[in-house]
Amino acid sequence: MGTRLYVGNLPFSATKASVQAAFAQSGEVTDVHIVTDRESGQSRGFGFVTMGTPEQAQQAIEQMNGALMDGRPLRVNEAEERVQRGGGGGGGGGYGGGG
């Protein structure tokens, strides 16, 4: 399995193809995911790129962190493992409501 990178400060005009092309300079890109708003479908300005090997991922961080894409400096680092979101904190209400 490849190494997943977080890519922040993406221009809203960035496409999967343009991000893949930029990161391909550092090695094999196995996946690109641009996070979009559920309602509008508009880019939220960040995404994830999966590189083929940890070495390629490190090279991508070195080459792409701070690099400009459509005039915006990218923030690139190793993505953190997703922590289980399990219910905590959400919703609020529930307890001691009406009465």
CATH superfamily of 3-77: RRM (RNA recognition motif) domain (3.30.70.330)
Percent of the chain with pLDDT over 90: 78
Q: What is the pLDDT of residue 94?
A: 53
Could you read off the pLDDT of 56-68 as tens digits, one per residue? 999 999 999 999 9
Domain boundaries, the chain: 3-77
Whole-model pTM? 0.80
Q: For 30-75, how does the pLDDT look when each residue is reduced to its tens digit (9 = 90+)? A: 999 999 999 999 999 999 999 999 999 999 999 999 999 999 999 9
Residue 96 or residue 79, greater confidence: 79
Burial class (CB in 10 A: 0-12, 13-18, 19+), 74: buried
